[in-house]
Amino acid sequence: MILDTPVSVQRKTTTYDSEGMPVEAWASVIERSNKQPLSGEIAFKDYGISDSGVTNLFFLKASTLAIESGRITDNAGTYEIYRIERYPNHCEAIVRPVTE
């Protein structure tokens, strides 16, 4: 599998302002990936996922910093990481579009 497309893998971070109030932001790391469409039928058959709104699968390197509840952004949009499947040689991030 060729990881040829750069994406931004994001994690939510919390810092505190001068008054001690939490400030949330997204910390990003650029990683290479391979994005594939994911139909509901395949999501259920291969991953046991149903009715979750997942639309794509990102293949990433095994050492990725991606986590569930994180995000991946590419030139087509921003996606919430619904689930991570980790394997010895790669990682699969199952995602759904972010609607804000």
CATH code, domain carrying 57: 2.40.10.270
Q: Look at 3-7, 52-56, 94-98 and tell me which has the smallest mean pLDDT.
A: 52-56
> Domain containing 35: what range?
5-97
**For the chain, percent of residues with pLDDT exceeding 90:** 58
pTM: 0.83
Quote the number of domains for the chain. 1
Q: H/E/C letters for each residue in 13-80?
A: EEEECCCCCEEEEEEEEEEEEEEEECCHHHHHHHHCCCCCCCCEEEEEECCCCCCCCCEEEECCEEEE
Condensed to tens digits (0 to 9), the pLDDT of residues 34-58 reads: 998 887 777 777 777 776 788 889 9
Class of residue 16 by CB neighbours under 10 A (exposed 0-12, middle 13-18, buried 19+): exposed
Tens-digit pLDDT profile for residues 73-89:
999 999 999 999 999 99
CA-closest candidate to residue 92, choices 62, 54, 52: 62
DSSP label at residue 90:
E
Q: Tell me the two tokens of residue 30.
A: 């650029």
Write down the pLDDT at residue 51: 67
**pLDDT value at residue 7:** 95
